[in-house]
Each structure stands twice: as structure tokens, then as C-alpha cells.
A and B are shown apart, each in its own frame.
Chain A
Amino acid sequence: MANMKIKASARGGVVKCKVMMKHDMLTYDQAKAKGKEANFITHITAKAGGKVVLDMSTSQFLSKNPLIKFDFSTEGLKKGDKLEMTWTDLSGKTVTEDKEIKGLK
């Protein structure tokens, strides 16, 4: 299931990443209005080459289907390395997807 759209490309020593996660991100208020259970992404982790490159705890106020962009240094990465994204939501669901980082030498 394609849950995430991941784009990662290296240029000039920096890997630029763009990740779109498919998630409803229902806040407590919205959930109440809809009569559903609140559910939102609470933690996002990104790994590349065995190293954690992004680690964020998030609240309900990220937008629906949140898009995040971040950079990290290419140090220690080699051709064919992948960017591995993991998110966890309030219900405890965890999704991991990876994508090869483009432009690595």
C-alpha cells in the first residue's frame, strides 16, 4: 500500500527529502464533531544508512496528509542507500516505507 510519497535526492553534500504521508489527522475537536475517535501521527522517524536523520514527535495540529521537507548531510552514505520513513499514530499503528536516495555517489 502506498501510504507515503517519498522523494529524496542528494546534491552538493546535502540530501533533500520530501515526504507526504497519507493520514486523516483527526484532532480531538474534529473527531468529536464527526463522532469518530481522534487519531493523528504522533511520531515520525527517518533513517538513512543506519543513522537516524529525522526524529520528530508531533501533535494533532499537523495538517491532513502532512507534507514534511527536511535536509541532512550525505556524510557516510553510499550509492544505493535508502531513506526509511516510519510513522506511528495514536492508535499504535506503525507504517514503514523506504525509497532509494537519488544522486548518491
Chain B
Amino acid sequence: MERRKFLGLGLTAAAVLPAVLNAKDFRAEKPDTWTAKKVQPAIEALYGKITPVEEGVTVQAPKVASNGGSVPVKIKSDIPAKTVAVFQDANPEATVAVFDLSEGGIIDYSIQIKMKASGTITAIVEGKDGKFYLGKQSLEVALGGCEG
């Protein structure tokens, strides 16, 4: 009984903490984005109905990735932006990450993602001018990275 109480306490503390630490938690704000199965609905869940322009955003990834468990992806853009979102269409769910840019933030991110199969990585940049910009890169994955 004592132990149960203690565990419960720990849980509440943990639930409160992140809200204080994080500037903007997209997981809490837009929960639908993270469960969307395809790229298009995921984008709609995050930004609403938008028609992004395909320019100004560079997504760099190897043409053939030997290990799907960690595919290096680089996202670059010079557009003054508010947010950047990264999606792919190979995994069970589409959204990989959403960046919230601070003042003077530079869009030059490298992350490593899992890819279950060959697919396309899409990056959307929400500009400060209210427009949306899109960049994408298709790649082949030799060995999928989502099975245990």
C-alpha cells in the first residue's frame, strides 16, 4: 500500500514537470499529429489545410541507406521560420519531429531517424510570413529499422 502511494506520487510529479520545462509541447497541443498514419493527414492535423510551396527547404539524406535503424537526415533552410516539421511515409505513423524555433534560430538540423522501408522524407517550414515551404527527399532503405 505504501509503495503504491509512493509510485502514484512519482507519476504526478513527472506529469507536471514537462509542462513547466517546455516552451511548446506539440505532443500535448496537437495529439492527432502523432497518431496520423499518412503524411497528408499529419500535416493537416498540425497546420490545418495548407498548400506549401516547394522551394527554399533542403532535405539531405543518403540515396541508399544501408541501415534503416539510423538514417542521417539534414534539414536546411534560410527562411525566417516559426516551426519546422519532419515527416516520412515508411513507418506506421508519419510524424518524426516538430521543431519550435526561437528568436534567431538557425534551421540547420541533423537528426537520425528510423525507416521501416524505402520512402520519402518531407520537411515543412512554417515561415514567419505565414506561408509554408516544403522540401523532400526520397531514399531507399536496404535494411528496415523498425523490427526489434
Say whether B102 faces chain A, with CB atoms less than 8 Å apart. Answer: yes
A59 to B91, CA, bound (A): 11
Assess A62 versus B114: contact at CB under 8 Å? Given A33-B148, A72-B104, A92-B15.
yes
* A88 closest partner in B (C-beta): B18
A residues near B148, Cβ cutoff 8 Å: 29-30, 33-34
Assess A57 versus B27: contact at CB under 8 Å? Given A29-B92, A62-B97, A62-B114.
yes
**Which range holds the interface residue count of chain B?**
35 or more
Say whether B71 faces chain A, with CB atoms less than 8 Å apart. Answer: yes
Residues of B within 8 A of A (CB): 11, 14-15, 17-18, 21-27, 34, 69-71, 88, 91-93, 95-106, 108-115, 145-148
Residues of A within 8 A of B (CB): 14, 25, 27-30, 33-34, 42-43, 45, 51-64, 66-73, 75, 86, 88, 91-94
List 13 extra interface pairs beyond A27-B92, A52-B23, A57-B24, CB under 8 A.
A27-B146, A28-B92, A42-B27, A57-B97, A59-B93, A61-B114, A61-B115, A62-B113, A64-B69, A69-B109, A71-B108, A86-B21, A88-B22
